[in-house]
Amino acid sequence: MRASPEASSPEASSPKATPRAAASPAYRVVVSKAARLLRLYVGETLAAEYPISIGRNVAADKTVEGDEATPLGEFYICAKNPRSRHFLSLCLSYPNVAHADRGLRDGLITRDEHAQILAAIAERRVPPQKTRLGGEIYIHGGRLAHGDPGTRGCVSVTNDIMQRLFDQLPHGTPVAIEP
């Protein structure tokens, strides 16, 4: 079998730079409860702004299961659900360390539950979702265009926006929820 002319050329035997895969954009989500807006950043640039619905207990920070409050704080996308009953959904890492610390201090969770939450956050996993602090806080579809009565604590957007967010945002994307 003969070698092709390219294989015997000096270029073929010299090392070649392999193209680097393009780094994925650094996405960040900031939810403003007061403004009822979800802001999507790519790096430091505001890329999009979307109207949202939040928990019916608008002013409160989430403290217990059933309080219908959207939690405040720093979270990350810890799971993606393509079969959500609300079209599509992105699970947020609630409870976070601050909520777990407060829950332990207030006697709402055990030391073991506290340790499990801290370990999950440290490992960037889904924290326990079935404690007295509540759980299953998502960014999800299904928001009504006008007059939406609110959610039980989640952040809701319209289905077309949810499709974009679901397609764009990877696991681990930081999500800040502000008053």
pLDDT in tens, 59-94: 999 999 999 999 999 999 999 999 999 999 999 999
Check residue 37 and give its pLDDT: 96
Do residues 152 and 64 lie in contact, with contact meaning Cβ atoms separated by under 8 Å?
no
pLDDT in tens, 10-43: 333 333 443 444 556 799 999 999 999 999 999 9
Residue 57 has pLDDT above 50, yes or no: yes
Instruction: Tell me how far apart the alpha carbons of residues 76 and 124 are, in angstroms, rounded to a whole number.
Output: 8
Question: Which residue type does 110 have?
Answer: T
pLDDT, position 2: 39
The pLDDT value recorded for residue 46 is: 98
Residue 130 pLDDT level (bands cut at 50, 70, 90): very high
Mean pLDDT of the residues in the chain: 88
Q: Which has more confidence, 144 or 44?
A: 44
Distance CA(55)–CA(83), nearest Å, equals 22
Within 13 Å of residue 99, how many CA atoms lie on the same side as its CB? 28
The percent of residues above 90 in pLDDT, for the chain, comes to 80
Sorted by where each starts, the structural domains of the chain and their CATH numbers stand as 52-172 (2.40.440)
Q: Which amino acid is at 43?
A: G
CA distance 98 to 69: 16
The pLDDT value recorded for residue 19 is 45
Q: Say how many C-beta atoms besides its own lie within 10 A of residue 160's C-beta.
A: 10
Contact 164, 114 (CB under 8 A): no
pLDDT of 149 reads: 73
CA angle 23, 41, 24 (to 5 degrees): 10
Residue 135 to residues 1, 67, 92, 117: CA-CA distances in angstroms? Answer: 65, 11, 9, 11
For 144, half-sphere exposure in the C-beta direction (CA atoms, 13 angstrom radius) is: 6
Residue 92: phi and psi, rounded to 5, are -100, 150
